[in-house]
Amino acid sequence: MPVLGIDVGGTKIAAGLVTEQAEILHSEVAPTRAGEVYAVSLGQVYAAIRACLSPEVRAIGICAPGPLNPKTGVVLNPPNLPGWRDVPLAGLVSREFGLPCSLENDANAAGLAETRFGAARGCSSVFYITLSTGIGTGIILDGRIYHGKNGQAGEGGHVTIDYQSAERCGCGLPGCIEALASGTALARRGLAPEKLAAAAQAGDAASLEVLEELAQRLGAWLGGMISLLDPDVVVIGGGLSRMGEPLFARLRRIAPQRSINQFAASTPIVPAQLGERVGILGAASVVL
């Protein structure tokens, strides 16, 4: 029996009818219209669900940007969904459609999808990273998302690696890895990830310097995460991951140098496999 996976983002909502084998039978994409009042964007969520709903659907899974509480199904106050403050989204959807509904942080959901269907299949402990506009992470332990006491665990992008840094993160703290090594950090320097990687591979000295600095920052942070979690595998997705081996080779070299874990060099650091499908499959994974 299929389930519905709904990926709610700041600009678009993707919905899909998903089987237990991770086959997407039907999908729809609609604008979130987040700049309008909350009721409008919630209506867009409902419309996306209706476009994919069929009688055999047994549950609905939703992933959305945090902060949110997956235990209560409440969206707390995500910066890119204006007006979404303390919204009991799982409960609202469940009542609207008469189906059980679960809510999950988008990075957590993506990590679960990669564990079940993607690059981390067969692994029980996974550290998932999405390197994009920001840096999101998900922790999978014994095949399940680790939520922590209040449902707020896994915010690895807001781990500070330089508490004296002049660069402040969107969260307000100085020196978060997100502030120092995300797509936003590169954009401040007028750089696009794919162009940076291509220029570095071509031997451009300035690009090589920027890429090495980016890898050193991410590698120092990632080495600490490996020391903390000792995962079976590290999976990296998001726009920056499309830089490919120029980035991954450096992370595989640097992270073990920055970790006390004597097995860090044998911890695989691999690209995500699910691509654009990860949002829908992640949301569906939460209820499959």
Per residue in 123-165, pLDDT tens? 999 999 999 888 999 999 999 999 999 888 999 999 999 999 9
| Tens digits of residue pLDDT in 269-282 | 999 999 999 999 99
| Burial class, 150, CB count within 10 angstroms (exposed 0-12 / middle 13-18 / buried 19+) | exposed
Confidence at residue 187, expressed as pLDDT on a 0 to 100 scale:
86
| Tens digits of residue pLDDT in 41-88 | 999 999 999 999 999 999 999 999 888 999 999 999 887 788 899 999
Q: For the chain, which residues make up each domain, given as ranges? A: 3-108+277-287, 123-272
Confidence at residue 95, expressed as pLDDT on a 0 to 100 scale:
97
- Checking 261-268 for CB contacts under 8 A at 24+ apart, the result is 261/226, 261/227, 261/230, 263/230, 264/223, 264/226, 264/227, 267/226, 267/230, 267/231, 267/232, 267/233, 267/234, 268/232, 268/233, 268/234
Confidence at residue 32, expressed as pLDDT on a 0 to 100 scale:
94
Q: What percent of the chain has pLDDT over 70?
A: 100
Q: Are 261 and 226 in contact (CB under 8 A)?
A: yes
Q: Is the pLDDT of residue 194 over 80?
A: no
For 20-34, letters b (16+ CB in 10 Å) and e give eebebeebbeeebeb
| Burial class, 122, CB count within 10 angstroms (exposed 0-12 / middle 13-18 / buried 19+) | exposed
DSSP state for residue 160 in the 8-state scheme: B
Alpha-carbon distances of 92 from 40, 59, 97, 254, 284, rounded to whole Å: 14, 14, 9, 46, 18
Look at domain 123-272 and name its CATH class: alpha beta
Confidence at residue 266, expressed as pLDDT on a 0 to 100 scale:
97
Confidence at residue 195, expressed as pLDDT on a 0 to 100 scale:
82
Angle between helices 245-257 and 205-229 (to 10 degrees): 50
Chain-wide mean pLDDT for the chain?
93
* CA–CA–CA angle 174, 184, 69 (5° rounding): 70
Q: 123-272: same fold as 3-108+277-287?
A: yes
Regarding the domain with residue range 3-108+277-287, which homologous superfamily does it belong to in the CATH classification? ATPase, nucleotide binding domain (3.30.420.40)
| Tens digits of residue pLDDT in 22-50 | 999 999 999 999 888 889 999 999 999 99
**Choice between 253 and 66, residue whose per-residue pLDDT is larger:** 253
Q: Is the pLDDT of residue 90 over 90?
A: yes
**Choice between 192 and 28, residue whose per-residue pLDDT is larger:** 28
Q: Is the pLDDT of residue 106 over 80?
A: yes
Confidence at residue 78, expressed as pLDDT on a 0 to 100 scale:
85
**Residue appearing with tokens 């920056």:** 240
